[in-house]
Amino acid sequence: MLIVTLSLGLSSLIYSCADDDSNNEWDMSYVTLLPADYLTPIPTFALTHVEEEGIEGSLEFQFVAAVSKAAKQDVKAYFDFECDGFSEDNVEATSEFAIVKAGSRTSDTITISVRNWGDLEDVKTATNCTLKIRLKDIETTAEDVGSSVYYKEIVLRISKTAEKPKENKLLTNAKDWIFTFMEGVENSESNSVAGTGSSDVATNGVPFWLTVDLKTTKTVTGVQTRHWGATYAPTKVEIFTSSDGVKWITAGVYVTKGSTQTITFGERVKTRYLKYQMIDVPNRVDITRFYIYSYE
């Protein structure tokens, strides 16, 4: 379909020019811009927007300058860009112009690309943008070459999704972290919490604490603890965060129950260290697993 359209357009151009013999336009050659692969429909370039990670995706497109008839002299075609939704300063091109060599019908391929979508970072909703490649001017010593009134621009369409929240994951790779347990707890060196053994960390009715070094700063939204049973689990705990493992800031006091206890923070916290402090406990209390919820 594209070939037919181009052929009809060029034919119309030639016939319309033939009506004016005084300008001898029948012998003129006209410069246009065409996709390098004109047999393939121009795609819509898709971008995804993820919270805190920014916009992912890129645009890369190839085009050529073309003449309706080969000229006896080189033809230099200059082009520029018109962008709707982002700045043309973000468009990179392999050249500022295209040259159709004497005796040729098309220029070498020009590649343009866009990888910086910073202009769209604050647009949280789905949006569509366009990038127009426009034939700006031509330069040649050939008197029988002119700029066409057809195919002087190529329109590229860009579609960005609405900003998606980051995926909140339960991280269970406890063996990658460093745990420290309150002095006096059972099995502090060999336990299932830190992945160094199969035993639980426990006390006989004494509220205890543990700290964990995640080794890197993460965006944490909560923690999950597991216990041998509901009767061995605390009923009130406090969670703290720290950037250095020395100064602690409370992330809240939480009433808990059950053998698996999920604590969700009121807001996301960026932290490297966490401290888990039991407050109210039964006569025998333990912990068998400690995981975190995080936007990795």
The residue assigned the tokens 């006390």 is: 203
Q: Which CATH class is domain 169-295?
A: mainly beta
Average pLDDT over residues 190-205: 96
Partnered with residue 158 across adjacent β-strands are 45, 129
pLDDT of residue 24: 59
* Segment 69-107, tens digit of pLDDT: 999 999 999 999 999 999 999 999 999 999 999 999 999
Residue 118 backbone dihedrals phi, psi, to 5 degrees: -60, -30
pLDDT of residue 17: 38
* Segment 136-193, tens digit of pLDDT: 999 999 999 999 988 999 999 999 999 988 888 999 999 999 999 999 999 999 999 9
Average pLDDT over residues 234-262: 97
Average pLDDT over residues 190-202: 96
Average pLDDT over residues 38-53: 91
Average pLDDT over residues 64-73: 95
Q: Is the pLDDT of residue 15 over 80?
A: no
Average pLDDT over residues 198-206: 97
In the chain, CATH 2.60.40.1740 covers: 27-160
Q: Is the pLDDT of residue 286 over 50?
A: yes
Count of CB atoms within 10 A of residue 256's CB?
A: 17
pLDDT of residue 9: 37
Average pLDDT over residues 99-125: 96
pLDDT of residue 25: 62
Q: Where are the beta strands (DSSP E) in the chain?
A: 29-35, 44-50, 54-56, 59-67, 75-84, 91-93, 97-100, 110-114, 127-139, 145-147, 153-160, 169-171, 178-181, 201-203, 209-226, 236-242, 249-255, 260-280, 285-287, 289-295
CATH topology of domain 27-160: Immunoglobulin-like (2.60.40)
In the chain, CATH 2.60.120.260 covers: 169-295
Whole-angstrom Cα distance, residue 109 to residue 64? 5
